[in-house]
Structure 1
Amino acid sequence: MVVATSPPVVEVDTSEVRRGYSLDDYRRFEAESLERHEYRDGEVVTMTGGSATHNKIVLAIVSWLLNQLDSKYEVFASDLRLWLPQYNRATYPDVMVVEGEPVFQEQRSDEILNPTLIVEVLSPSTAAYDRGDKFRRYRSIPSFAEYLLVSQQEPYVEQFSRRDEGVWEFRALEGLEGAIGFPRFDVELPVGEIYRRVRFAETA
């Protein structure tokens, strides 16, 4: 098992960026927009649309978590915004799990502060960002303790788990066998459940 303390930071392609937005401007813009956007300390970045496979994986994970987790946990999908006050950033993780009551930013109902588990389903355009710069900023969340990166190109899942202050353990699962252990939730998520509605192309 590899212990990861600071994954490499890789910058995302910022070709779809609007600059010079205040946070209030962003919130008004986002409330009226048909697309979703990240807020990055004055920059508004258009988020890429999800594929059918991406959607199937997210729904499978959300469904499994809702069925398996104790009632003290709340499960949220990608329409709920996550606010990162240390970095003045807002983003939309694919899946979040909150232990106990959700804490919202400034009494809002659309920006959450306290996820324990975050799941991102990777795409070629976001994979480096999700592993690097985004993960580094997610680690500023005091409650954040589990991070899953799920490939949609092949059955492959990366798990980062916080064990001690500043120390994260890394585990990778390849193929449809095996399960992702979450000792803090007292459950194991079978990899096959994540991909149960996904068909991968046959390779020679």
Structure 2
Amino acid sequence: MQVQTRKHIYTPEEYLELEEKALYKSEYRDGEIIPMTGGTTNHNQIALNFASSLLYVIRGKKYRYRSIPQFKEYVLVEQNQYQVMHYSKTNEGEWIFREYKSENYLVKLQHLDFEISLVDIYQDVNFDDKE
């Protein structure tokens, strides 16, 4: 006889709380916590800084990527230097690319009414640490 176990679906808040204390880092995908392999200290710190800041904007709202009618923005963050690549989709369906390479820049996600400085994204990141 097989016994089925019930899969726990985590909230973003639960994930962030667990991730702060975890010895090994993981990623959050559709309510599941999936172990990451090869995550570096800088990568993890950047992800934590960005997710923690973004959490204040989306708290209490029902943002899950499957429920968003159209994918409108995404951000790629380099872990070894100040570099953020921001893609934003216009109402006409065209993609606009912005690149930020200085700690003085502010990244603005218009569709979420959210902004974060590169200083905040890279807080506690050691660029000399090339894990």
> Partner residue of 2:114?
187
Matches within 5 A, 1:164-175: 164-175=91-102
SS in 2 for 1:199: coil
Q: Are the aligned partners of 1:114 and 1:144 in contact in 2 as well (CA < 8 Å)?
A: no
Moved over 3 A (4+): 70-74
Q: Summarize deviations over 1:61-104 as a string: whole Å, max 9, x none.
A: 1111123x154535xxxxxxxxxxxxxxxxxxxxxxx2xxx4xx
Range that drifts further, 55-64 or 175-184:
175-184
Q: Summarize deviations over 1:144-180 as a string: whole Å, max 9, x none.
A: 1111000001110000001034311000000211101
Match of 2:66 among 113, 118, 139: 113
Q: In percent, how many aligned pairs have the same letter? A: 33
User: C-alpha separation between the residues in 2 aligned to 1:66 and 1:148?
Assistant: 15
What is the number of equivalent residue pairs in this alignment?
Answer: 96
Deviation at 1:113, TM superposition (A): 2.0
TM-score by length of 2: 0.62
Match of 2:47 among 54, 58, 61: 58
TM-score by length of 1: 0.41
> Partner residue of 2:30?
none
CA RMSD of aligned residues (A): 2.6
Q: Are the aligned partners of 2:74 and 2:86 in contact in 1 as well (CA < 8 Å)?
A: yes
Larger proportion of strand: 1
- Structure 1: gaps spanning 5 or more residues: 1-35, 37-46, 75-97, 103-111, 116-141
User: C-alpha separation between the residues in 1 aligned to 2:101 and 2:50?
Assistant: 17
1:183 maps to a residue whose letter is Q
SS in 1 for 2:90: strand
1:153 maps to a residue whose letter is N
Q: Are the aligned partners of 2:72 and 2:111 in contact in 1 as well (CA < 8 Å)?
A: no
2:48 maps to a residue whose letter is L
User: C-alpha separation between the residues in 2 aligned to 1:168 and 1:72?
Assistant: 28
2:46 maps to a residue whose letter is I
1:160 maps to a residue whose letter is Y
Deviation at 1:183, TM superposition (A): 2.1
Match of 1:148 among 70, 75, 87: 75
